[in-house]
Chains A and B, each alone.
Chain A
Amino acid sequence: MAPRECEICQNNRAQILRPKNHARICAPCFTALFEQEVAETIESSNLFQPGERVAIGASGGKDSTVLASVLKTLNERQKWGLDLVLLSIDEGITGYRDHSLEAVKRNAADLDLPLKIVSYQELYGWSMDQVVAQIGKKGNCTYCGVFRRQALDRGAAMLGVGHVVTGHNADDVAETVLMNLLRGDLPRLSRATSIVTSTPSAAKAKSADGKVTMTNVKRSKPMIYAYEKEIVMYAHHKKLDYFSTECIYSPEAFRGSARTLIKNLERIRPESILDVVKSGMDMARLVPQEQGAVPEEVEMTGRCGDAKESGGEMAAMERKLQQDEVAATNGIGVEIQLPRSSKNDRELGSAHAHSRETVALKAANDHPDGQNHDRDQLAPVTLPTRTKMKQKPAGRGAEKRTLPPKQKLGQCEKCGYLSSQAVCKACMLLEGLNKARPHTGIEVG
């Protein structure tokens, strides 16, 4: 096959086939274009203020490694004057995070950026290894997801940084759009497609005293339009050093299926990925705004099995609760009670048991996961959106989506983190963990 020339420089051999427009270009033209497109995303959405301190959520994986490299390059080239810092979370997973943190340290050295590592151990008194030893391998992603969300904010606050950027790419967002579509969760779908997801009180809290606290950290995704394929190609051609492995505790559940679907679509029609993202954004405009959303439940687009996005997290929580119940009746395992969740299930069950919408949503919710076949006997209704539904009068939810009465943000009375409940989710999980601590060593299969 005769080698084709790059469509841009008309000189080098074409090496990249761009998924979004089938352009055939060479590696140098590609890396320049990739950087330029990220710059356009950033500038057109006014993501940064000149001189802003920005923390890059760095895991050592391909996405955050590319993001750090591109931002460092652009910051100098575009003269944004940003004060960049790498922020890593050490979940305490031996054999996984310890290796990827080494990659982050090498990146920090290569890019000459300061690095801050905050660990679950120091923030919560529990590493994920300890959590898993306590509760077993199932359902632990819930803990990890809830802890991580807060950990990034807490880490940013420690650094006095009010803005955290993450490496979420178009494929991640497309997955999340599909998942929320399949779950019938339009509000969450809407949040997943936002480039910026500030905590709602961010603006106010900041103007009050100008100080960054963990409750006013802004989040953004500068690579929301970048294909995963191009991120990997960028890393390859720039010879970036990244770490790739799956979390040893991560299950392949609902997100895994959405991911496979996206990758299969990409092979047939690569434009599909950006089209799903754009459709998600269009749908988001049709969803009434819920500005008072709980930050813990906001936009945890991610790749850890089902855990980092909140719907799955809640579903995982329910699964966990049920496993605990089963385990308790069998006399094995440790029970970690979350009074709020189980109470909600019951209330919802009675309020919605005969609602057509509920049945339909439940069906959509149960099927793709493939893990919850036994759910029906235990909790008749398991909607990921149930906290919101509960706050509304029983009935059809669609027209009542605006201003759910209890969605108002307060602060956790234990730790001060943003929460719509008296005690935030992390504190509730910790309470369960700490109560059960003496039982360490008992494990659920």
Chain B
Amino acid sequence: MAESTSIPLTIEFTGGLELLFSNQRKHKVDLPSSKQSPNVADLITYLCDNLMKDPRKDMFVLDGTVRPGILVLINDADWELEGQETYQLQPRDEIVFVSTLHGG
């Protein structure tokens, strides 16, 4: 029973990234957690495989992690302060992906 749990998360894409995700900024995601508490790396893989309809995957993920120039915020703090991909996700965490790569 415990294997089929999922973690509810709020995901937001801004700075132009929303264009890759059905042009929608906020997404409610229930991240399946077959193993114990998935981390941000698992989330990125999940988003890439399930939420992202745009075929240009390399605009979001490059070499197994988010593309350089995309900022990640975990509960409004830079993910570099939280352990980056290794951060263990908690229910109702808010994860924001912001692209700095788009022009202005």
Contacts of A233 in B (CB 8 A): 71, 78
A444 to B87, CA, bound (A): 51
Q: Which residue of A lies closest to B76 (CB)?
A: A15
**A236 near B73 (CB under 8 angstroms)?**
yes
The answer to the question of A356 belonging to the interface, with a C-beta cut-off of 8 Å to chain B, is no
Contact B19 A245 (CB under 8 A): yes
Within the assembled complex, what's the spacing in Å between the Cα atoms of A144 and B19?
Answer: 24
Q: Select the residue from B80, B83, B99, B103 with max chain A CB neighbours within 10 A.
A: B103
Interface size on A, residues (CB 8 A): 42
The distance in angstroms between the C-alpha atoms of A242 and B76, with both chains bound, is 18
Q: In the assembled complex, which residues on chain A have CB atoms less than 8 Å from the CB atom of B19?
A: 245
Q: Is residue A32 within 8 Å, beta carbon to beta carbon, of the partner chain?
A: no
What is the distance, in angstroms, from B98's C-beta to the closest C-beta of chain A? Answer: 6
Evaluate contact between A1 and B82: CB separation under 8 angstroms.
yes
Partner of B81, one of A24, A171, A246, A264: A24
- Is the pair A246, B102 in contact by a Cβ cutoff of 8 Å? yes
A1 touching B77 in the complex, CB below 8 Å, given contacts A62-B104, A232-B98, A245-B19: no
B78 touches A15 (CB 8 A): yes
> Could you tell me if A244 and B69 are in contact, using CB atoms closer than 8 angstroms?
no
How far, in Å, is B74 (CB) from chain A's closest CB? 10
Which residue of chain A has the shortest Cβ distance to B73 in the bound complex? A236
Nearest neighbor of A305 in chain B, beta-carbon distance: B103
B22 within 8 Å of A by Cβ?
no
- Residues of A near B15 (CB, < 8 A) are 62, 232, 244
A1-32 at interface with B (beta carbon < 8 Å)? 1, 3-4, 13-17, 24, 27
Cβ of B101 under 8 Å from chain A: yes
Among B81, B83, B96, B100, chain A packs the most CB atoms within 10 A around the CB of B100
Q: Does A259 contact B (CB under 8 A)?
A: yes
Complex CA distance for A233 and B99, rounded to whole angstroms? 11
Query: Is A34 engaged at the interface, CB distance under 8 Å to the other chain?
Result: no
A263 with B101, Cβ < 8 A, contacts A15-B78, A232-B15 known: yes
Q: In the complex, A391→B16 CA distance in Å?
A: 44
- Cβ < 8 Å to B, chain A residues 168-187: 171
- Contact code string B66-95 (vs A, CB < 8 Å = 1, else 0): 011101010011101111000100000000
A236 to B81 Cα, complex, angstroms: 17
Q: How far does the Cβ of A6 sit from chain B's closest Cβ, in whole Å?
A: 11
Which chain B positions have C-beta within 8 A of A63? 104
Residue of B nearest to A61 (CB): B104
Which of A24, A65, A236, A243 sits near B98, CB closer than 8 Å? Answer: A236
A60 touches B103 (CB 8 A): no
Within 8 A of B (CB), among A159-175: 167, 171
Q: Which residues of chain B (35-65) have a CB below 8 Å from chain A? A: none
A27, B76: Cβ atoms closer than 8 Å: yes
Does the CB pair A267–B68 fall under 8 Å?
A: yes
Which residues of chain A (37-73) have a CB below 8 Å from chain B? Answer: 59-65
Q: Which residue of chain A lies nearest to B98 when distances are taken between CB atoms in the complex?
A: A232
| Set of chain B residues within 8 Å of A244, measured between Cβ atoms | 14-16, 99, 102-104
Chain B residues, CB < 8 A from A14: 77, 81
User: What's the nearest-Cβ distance from chain A to residue B95, in Å?
Assistant: 13
Chain B residues whose CB sits within 8 angstroms of the CB of A167 once the complex forms: 104
Contact B83 A1 (CB under 8 A): yes
Find chain A residues with CB under 8 A from B82 CB. 1
A24–B79 Cα distance when bound, in Å, is: 12
Residue in B16, B68, B69 whose beta carbon sits within 8 Å of that of A246 in the complex: B16
Query: B50 to nearest A CB, angstroms?
Result: 24
CB distance from B60 to the nearest CB of A (A): 14
| Contact assessment for B81 and A245 in the assembled complex, using a CB-CB cutoff below 8 Å | no
Residues from chain A with a CB closer than 8 A to the CB of B101 are 259, 263
Q: Given A4, A16, A24, A247, which contacts B103 in the complex, CB threshold below 8 Å? A: A247
6 residue pairs A–B, Cβ–Cβ below 8 Å: A16-B78, A61-B103, A63-B104, A232-B15, A242-B104, A244-B102
Chain B residues in the interface with A (C-beta under 8 A): 14-16, 19, 67-69, 71, 73, 76-78, 80-83, 87, 96, 98-104
Identify 15 new A-B residue pairs, CB closer than 8 A, beyond the known A60-B104, A246-B102. Answer: A15-B81, A16-B78, A229-B100, A236-B14, A242-B104, A244-B15, A244-B99, A244-B103, A244-B104, A245-B16, A245-B103, A260-B69, A263-B101, A267-B68, A303-B104
A-B complex: 3 closest residue pairs judged by Cβ atoms = A61-B104, A244-B16, A263-B68
